[in-house]
Amino acid sequence: MKITSFNLPYMSARSIFPKLCVAALIGTIGWSLAAAEIVAPAIVPLPMKMEVAEGTFTLTSATRVVFDEASAETARQLVDSLKPAMGIAMERVPGLPNDAKATIRLTQDEGLKRLGKEGYQLSVTPDGIRIVGAAQAGVFYGVQTLRQLLPPRIFATEPVKDVAWSVPCVTIEDMPRFAWRGLMLDSGHDFQQKAFVERFIDLMALHKFNIFHWHLTDLGTWSIEIKGRPKLLDAATRGPGVKPGHYTQEEVREVLRYAAARHITVVPEIDMPGHEPPALLAYPELDCPLPRADKDGKVERPWEFCLGNEKTYEFLEEVLGQVSEVFPGPYIHIGGDECPKGRWLRCPLCQARMTEQHLKNGEELQSYFIRRIEKYLQSKGRRLIGWDEILEGGLAPNATVMSWRGMGGGIAAAKAGHDVVMAPTEWTYFDYPNTPVEKVYSFEPVPNELSAGQGMHVLGAQAQMWTDTHPTEDQIDALVYPRAVALAEVVWSSPVNRNYHEFEDRLRAHLPRLAALGVHYKPLVGAGRVIGHWSPAETSDTPKVVDWKLDTGIKGAGRYAITFQYEHGKSRYQIHAVEIIQEGKVLASDKHFGWSGASNQNHVYQLELAQHSNAPLTLRATVSTDWGPDSHGRIMIEKLAALP
């Protein structure tokens, strides 16, 4: 029996209620009416339309996954994703047998073209589950929604006992708002292992991102193999603090196959004409023939290619030729950002090129360079995309602009008829630790300054995870999640009646899924119970140890988040280390520097607490202030979902 439904028409008003009250008949003798509370599924990103019905379908060892020929790979992925937690591999049955009971049915139906290649329908009844899409991307995204309909522990990496793998009865119709839903991972400032990159892609797929922008070269390292150019990988070209390593072309192809199986297009970035110390240290003949020294005579790391030297173009065409052979996607990102022009204006080769091409300034010289590179990429069947500095001096004819210095570059490009990807620092730079989830959720990729026609040039949006501060993999987790979940909803779901508080309710239900996947996400600010306060008595100009009694908030062993939240005062509260103490023994600690003040920096501390006795616990922190004793705030504790 259907209980209730709510229609979320695409691009029209929507209203999801976390809890829906309905009348249900209960009782064993006679009839009586009582209010039964049905919890709406916490799906992120929010689907376009959803109808909730009474009942569930439960996955067991007898459940079969049936599929048509086109859906065979998606069926395999579904079974493989559920196997670790269920401890069994459900039977896969090709050919869509007629008996539909106790089955999950995956099909591709071109009759659903109105939902596009990424749209899907998902229906759950007590007899089975049906997922259908006009193309396999849609079937795949339907599977991601199905995974979220199951209990959160379905994402565990080992068998889970005493859990009924029940799915609520729903009917969902869904499709994305934007074609470009991206995340960027910077492997050019610092290196990440291939396994981490593939895990990054897995998490993208769960949240229905479809563009992985892979930044492969920058100030820190040249991370992709270019055959015939071994010096690019020499350790001497790496910046300080960069983790060693690179990706062979075969390893890159493995990542590409991994992403393609999850319907993610990989956009490589080879930075040019600036941000290229590794290439210039490896091949100094590509630098302008000028000395490199600062005002004190200290030798500087090189930065920008010589644009008057024909060898520069030969080198970059050699590189881009190999990149085009490895990466099958339509776009190649060439950077184009933050390139100083001063050396070009003093370089005899660059000046000769400017005279030859009738170029007035450094901006026009860079535009000449970008146009040449675009022409070469077009000869390889690829489209050029670059940061919004490529607008300066005149935009290449068919270039796509990625707007990062605010929305202005994107607005100008869209008005000129160019495609745009919005990636402004204010909302989408995830290496900025202080941008809150709510701020990300408030982002609107299509500015009001654009007409409806101009707005069609906004392909979508993406977030950037720069690594010039050399974060660990766990730190990357905490910077990206849960903010990426907010962006996923921005680029997938309708913006009409967007409601952060309703989203936060679903996000809190989603966090245990991330925990089961081993994601070291940053806890939501403001969550948890207040366990103490600080005032001038707990401050010091130099590091000082302060204790607070932990009378509440600790509920046995587990992972806890301790948040320091400034309230008022002239000084920020600086935290050097946090410990949980019992009878003089340190049970758990997190030693990193952070602060809470007018802005916050790394002010959440995560501690893993093992089983312990009932003796009193103490929170101990080493703290200081930056501008005298006037600082006031509260300290909160929250128990987090367990990591596997």
Q: Which residues are catalytic?
A: 218, 275, 338
R_g of the chain, CA atoms, integer Å? 27
Closest CA to 58 of 18, 2, 98, 101: 101
**Angle between helix 362-379 and 348-357 (nearest 10):** 80
Q: How far apart are CA 560 and CA 544, in angstroms?
A: 23
Q: How far apart are CA 197 and CA 473, in angstroms?
A: 10
Secondary structure element (H or E) that encloses residue 604, with its range: strand 604-609
Structure tokens at 489: 């909803």
Residue type, 511: L
Question: Does residue 482 have a cis bond before it (omega within 30 degrees)?
Answer: yes
Residue 92's φ and ψ, nearest 5 degrees, are: -100, 130
3-state secondary structure of 544: strand
Q: What is the 3-state secondary structure (H, E, C) of 272-310?
A: ECCCCHHHHHHCHHHCCCCCCECCCCCECCCCCCCCCCH
3-state secondary structure of 191: coil
Our CA dihedral for 86, 92, 98, 100, rounded to 10 degrees, sits at: 10
Are 173 and 115 within 8 A, CB to CB? yes
Closest CA to 590 of 542, 539, 523, 535: 523
Q: How far apart are CA 33 and CA 27, in angstroms?
A: 9
